[in-house]
Amino acid sequence: MKLKSDFIVQDIDDTQFLVPLGHEAFNGIVRSNKTAAFIVNCLKNDTTKDQIVDAMCLQYDAPRETIDADVEEILATLRGIGAIEE
């Protein structure tokens, strides 16, 4: 899966934003927290949920199950706004 090309990532200071480009289904701007920003950065290239979880486990000191649940939740949100192509 991958971030759709009509969702643009824009950084302002330390905050990451995800902006839809003339998207009909979603008319908003996503302000990512650090976890979501990490996941969005992973999604800039073709990846899988497991690869994202692996990358996060290397970065964050948290149980894999917790990270897995966080990734699942954020991916569901991104899918909900039509930002991911499978």
Partner 1 sequence: MKEIFSPDTFLFKVLPKAKPCTGVTYVPSRFAFSFECDGKQYVTSTLTKQCIEGVLPETVKAGEGFDSLIETYMLVPEGKDEVAFYESISSMMRLFSKKKRIGGFIILPTLHCNARCIYCYEEGRAQSKMTPETVEATLRYILDNCDKNGIKLNWFGGEPLLCPEIIDRISDGIREAGIPYRSNVVTNGSLITPEILEKMQGPWHTRNIQVSMDGAEPDYIARKRYYGDLDAYHAVMQNISRLSEAGITVALRVNVDEGNWSGIPQFLNDLKQWVDHKDRVHVYFSPLMAVRAGEGDIAFWKKVLAANPLIAEAGFKPVPYTEPVMKFRIHRCMADSGSVVIAPDGGLYPCEHCAAESCYGNIVSGTIDMAAREEYCRTDRTRAMCRECPMLPECTSFANCPWVDYHCRESHEMLAAEALRRIIRNQQDLTENPDEDDLIC
Q: Does 8 bind partner 1 (CB under 8 A)?
A: yes
Task: Evaluate whether 71 touches 39 at the Cβ level (below 8 Å).
Answer: yes
Q: How far is the CB of 84 from partner 1 (least distance, A)?
A: 18
Q: How far apart are CA 18 and CA 32, in angstroms?
A: 7
Q: How many residues does the chain have?
A: 86
Q: Does 85 bind partner 1 (CB under 8 A)?
A: no
Task: Evaluate whether 40 touches 3 at the Cβ level (below 8 Å).
Answer: yes
Q: Does 75 bind partner 1 (CB under 8 A)?
A: no
Q: Which of 12, 25, 45, 65 binds partner 1 (CB under 8 A)?
A: 12
Helix (H) or strand (E) holding 15: strand 15-20
Range in contact with partner 1 (rule: CB under 8 A) among 8-16, 55-63, 66-74, 75-83: 8-16
Half-sphere exposure (CA, 13 Å, Cβ side) for 24?
0
Range in contact with partner 1 (rule: CB under 8 A) among 21-29, 35-43, 44-52, 58-66: 21-29
Q: How far is the CB of 18 from partner 1 (least distance, A)?
A: 10
